[in-house]
């Protein structure tokens, strides 16, 4: 009986889960279920409507975001969940078609094969795979115009950091090469069940106008990763494995990697490409 009870608040469809079976949070999956309806609504409202054909929610758990998303996107919403217990819960308790529930690992899932047009990504992401989710976003940048998600605060600060910041690193540069990153708001641990040991934050990542960067892309990625592996050293020293015996005189090589903007990393890559 309780499975069929539905309450409507502020024109948003909310499934009343009082007395309904729950999903057990699994530590090995990094699950921390969001229990605040206010935060859930803020996250969903941060997603811009109309910029993609479909929306994909990663790790819906017990569907706190899914409820709000269904009200807006209907059958344009897909969810992907690796936890079979959560999948069963969603099928029993959410008004979403089984066709739109993907049971699988997002990191291994072939997005281009499933989605032929653009998709927006949203989710309360498991913190143990959050970096990998962002790297997959970069790999699928021409398919995904936007992402809104909950991350560990440290990761959110890192990817939105600007040059000169101590938190500015590999993922900051690579993500900001193709996307605009906005830190939206901080979320306290108390709104999760179980509460994580860290603070969380929501960011929004929007595809920019860069279709092709004006340098050797493969070398660009290599330069960034190599430079930050020894971030305390100047570029002339941190890039020795690439430069080999070359000793360039350009002023840019006297800088440290965290001092360089995306544009300067492109400039650096072009200089190295000519030298090689």
* pLDDT attached to residue 26: 78
Domain borders along the chain are 2-207, 217-275
Q: Give, for 109, the enclosing helix (H) or strand (E).
A: none
Q: Which CATH architecture has domain 2-207?
A: 3-Layer(aba) Sandwich (3.40)
* pLDDT attached to residue 116: 85
Report phi then psi at 182, rounded to 5.
Answer: -120, 125
Burial class (CB in 10 A: 0-12, 13-18, 19+), 209: exposed
- Helix (H/G/I), strand (E/B), else coil: 59: coil
Which tokens sit at 51?
């910029």
Euclidean distance between CA atoms 96 and 93, whole angstroms: 9
Q: What are the respective helix, strand and coil percentages of the chain, to the nearest 5? A: 45, 20, 35
CA-CA-CA-CA torsion sign (264, 269, 271, 272): positive
- Helix (H/G/I), strand (E/B), else coil: 147: strand
Which tokens sit at 219?
């070398």
Which tokens sit at 132?
């990998």
Distances in Å between the Cα of 48 and the Cα atoms of 52, 96, 104 are 9, 21, 26
pTM of the model: 0.88
- Mean pLDDT per segment of 10 residues, for the chain of length 276 residues? 35 39 78 92 97 96 96 97 94 94 96 94 93 97 97 96 96 98 97 92 97 97 97 95 90 97 98 94
- The residues, any chain, with a CB within 8 Å of residue 71's CB and separated by 6 or more, are 11, 12, 13
Pick the closest to residue 187 from 24, 46, 12 (CA basis): 46
Considering the domain 217-275 in this protein, what is its CATH number? 1.10.8.100
* pLDDT attached to residue 4: 38
* pLDDT attached to residue 9: 35
Strand intervals (E) in the chain? 6-9, 12-15, 33-34, 54-58, 77-81, 101-103, 119-124, 146-152, 179-187, 192-193, 200-207
* pLDDT attached to residue 275: 92
DSSP 245: T
* pLDDT attached to residue 142: 95
- The residues, any chain, with a CB within 8 Å of residue 130's CB and separated by 6 or more, are 151, 152, 155
Distances in Å between the Cα of 70 and the Cα atoms of 55, 77, 86, 90, 225 are 10, 7, 17, 12, 39
Question: First and final CA of the chain: distance in angstroms?
Answer: 71
């Amino acid at each position: 009986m309780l499975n069929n009870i539905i309450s409507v608040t502020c024109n948003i469809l909310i499934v009343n889960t009082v007395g309904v079976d729950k999903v057990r949070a699994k530590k090995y999956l990094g699950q921390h279920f969001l229990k605040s309806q206010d935060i859930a609504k803020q996250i969903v409202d941060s997603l811009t409507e109309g910029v993609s054909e479909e929306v994909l929610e990663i790790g819906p758990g017990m569907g706190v975001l899914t409820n709000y998303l269904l009200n807006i996107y209907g059958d344009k919403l897909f969810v992907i969940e690796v936890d079979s217990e959560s999948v069963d819960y969603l099928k029993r308790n959410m008004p979403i078609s089984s066709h739109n529930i993907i049971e699988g690992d997002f990191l291994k899932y072939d997005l281009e094969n499933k989605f032929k047009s653009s998709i927006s990504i949203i989710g309360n992401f498991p913190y143990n795979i959050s970096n990998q989710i962002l790297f997959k976003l970069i790999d699928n940048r021409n398919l995904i115009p936007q992402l809104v998600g909950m991350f560990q605060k440290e990761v959110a600060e890192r990817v939105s950091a600007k040059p000169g910041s101590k938190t500015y690193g590999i993922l900051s540069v690579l993500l900001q090469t193709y996307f605009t990153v906005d830190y939206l708001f901080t979320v306290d641990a108390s709104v999760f069940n179980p509460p994580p040991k860290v603070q969380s934050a929501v960011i929004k990542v929007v595809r920019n106008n860069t279709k092709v960067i004006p340098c050797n892309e493969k070398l660009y990625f290599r330069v960034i990763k190599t430079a930050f592996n020894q971030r305390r050293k100047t570029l002339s020293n941190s890039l020795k494995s690439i430069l080999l015996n070359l000793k360039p005189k350009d002023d840019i090589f006297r800088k440290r990697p965290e001092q360089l903007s995306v544009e300067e990393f492109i400039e650096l890559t072009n200089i190295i490409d000519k030298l090689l």
